[in-house]
Amino acid sequence: MKRLTLILALTTLAACATIEGAGQDISTAGDAISEAARSAK
């Protein structure tokens, strides 16, 4: 699971063209990770 999350995060970061886009991508990835953690409980 950690490997998949890392791959998705790196792919998302590689796809963004600006610093603002990177911030939004990181925020979205963080939200997805938080939701997955809540679901795992």
What local confidence, expressed as pLDDT, does residue 4 receive? 86
**pLDDT for 17:** 59
Instruction: Annotate the chain with three-state secondary structure.
Output: CHHHHHHHHHHHHHHCCCHHHHHHHHHHHHHHHHHHHHHHC
Nearest alpha-carbon partner for 12 in 27, 39, 34, 36: 27
Which pLDDT value is given to residue 19? Answer: 67
The confidence score (pLDDT) of residue 34 equals 92
Express each pLDDT in 1-41 by its tens digit. Answer: 788 888 887 777 676 556 667 778 888 889 998 988 888 87
